[in-house]
Structure 1
């Protein structure tokens, strides 16, 4: 498929075209076989998250200590979300700066 020059919002820096398939096991697979691994932020943080939630389950609901652990659990969820957003931003920027046309 050919994209017209008018459709491109920014000036092309080259003629390098790349096809990308986004998947589950690999974050991205390019048409030349190169892959970018899918980061497993949730899987890596799961032991600490499970420990916090186990501690929280032992506390009386509504108590100060329960609320304190709730804040820790929420911070852990936010941390995982921020790691994912940072990864996506970095890879997205790398793709946009590297290739003139990207087809998914």
Structure 2
């Protein structure tokens, strides 16, 4: 299990323990974190779970796959640390992960 901090665009924080094997998106949805819409339910078929991964965790979360990169083309304000949270699997290595949410997911 890993503690993950989700920071909304306005600065509100949600620190949640997420079970290993779930995605960062699933942790947010199960705990009603505002700002992660997850319209496709985690199938990497939309970009409504876009997050900015804290710089300290970029190596741990890894690089986006080609499919994820193509879906990020539909997200707004993509940055080098942008990821789709449905594609980040939770493990003990992600304990302390911080993800920031964009202003909107459309």
Q: Which band: TM-score by shorter chain?
A: under 0.3
* TM-score normalized by the length of structure 2: 0.23
Question: Larger relative contact order (C-alpha < 8 A, sep ≥ 6)?
Answer: 2
**Which structure shows the bigger proportion of residues in helix conformation?**
1
**Which structure shows the bigger proportion of residues in strand conformation?**
2
Between Structure 1 and Structure 2, whose CA radius of gyration is higher? 1
